[in-house]
Structure 1
Amino acid sequence: MALVESIYQCTNTFPSEEKFGLLSQMRRCAVSIPSNIAEGAAKSSAADYSRFLTIAIGSLSELDTQLELSKRLQFLNDAAFESLDSQLGSISRMLIGLRRSIRSKA
């Protein structure tokens, strides 16, 4: 959830013409990550949970690409990019580890 909050905060500084473009897409991706984790955890099988974790990892990868684009377009400064990139890396490692653990139990 901290990542979602961070994305919302950093995108507040994006140009207004990005409201329905990159800004909106980044926010949707960020919200999708914890939403898919929660939905998967509520499922009754390990296979379903693993599938939703895979979707969350995909959203995280999309967000990673969008962050890089935001940096290249100079919508994000280096400090903001580094902070968000670090958060993404940590979350990615956790999700991949959790998915691996769930799959080994299935």
Structure 2
Amino acid sequence: MRDHKELDVWRESVDVVVKGYALTKSFPKEEIYGLTNQMRRAAVSIPSNIAEGAARQTEKEFVQFLYISLGSATELETQILIAEKRSFTQIAGELLRQIAMVQKMLHGLIRHYRNKV
């Protein structure tokens, strides 16, 4: 079992959650059950799946959860781009860069553990 709190990608993705919540705070109220909720759930899913995968017994299981985290990161990236196109935000650049960094870190971890399987 790995300690997920020791993983840089987990710490970075927790920061993504905090920034994602701050970003969606300014969204229109009618989006609370729409894009706001979807973005928050996708953001929370990233570190949550890293943590759950780290607690699994095998590298193969860990990699499966890393893939889920990667999918959630890509989902969040898409939702931010939609929010920008809908003019809900124009300050998402830093968050998008941070998501891209998390995606790269996840790809690296997946490669590392997939080679061990």
Superposed pair shares fold, TM > 0.5: yes
Unaligned runs of 5+ in 1: none
1:90 & 1:76 partners in 2: Cα distance? 21
TM-score (normalizing by structure 1):
0.96
1:44 & 1:82 partners in 2: Cα distance? 37
Unaligned runs of 5+ in 2: 1-13
Q: Which runs of 4+ in 1 moved over 2 A?
A: none
Matched, 1:45 2:58: yes
2:95 & 2:80 partners in 1: Cα distance? 8
- The within-5 A match list for 1:17-96 is 17-77=30-90, 80-96=91-107
1:73 & 1:49 partners in 2: Cα distance? 36
Report the secondary structure of 2:87's partner residue.
coil
Does the CA contact (< 8 Å) of 2:23 and 2:92 recur in 1? no
Residue matched to 1:98? 109
- Aligned-pair Cα RMSD in Å: 0.5
2:83 & 2:95 partners in 1: Cα distance? 11
Q: Deviations over 1:32-82 (max 9, x none)?
A: 0000000000000000000000000001111111010000001111xx221
**Residue type matched to 1:93 in 2?**
K
Matched, 1:10 2:23: yes
TM-score (normalizing by structure 2):
0.87
**Residue type matched to 1:24 in 2?**
N
Report the count of equivalent residues: 104
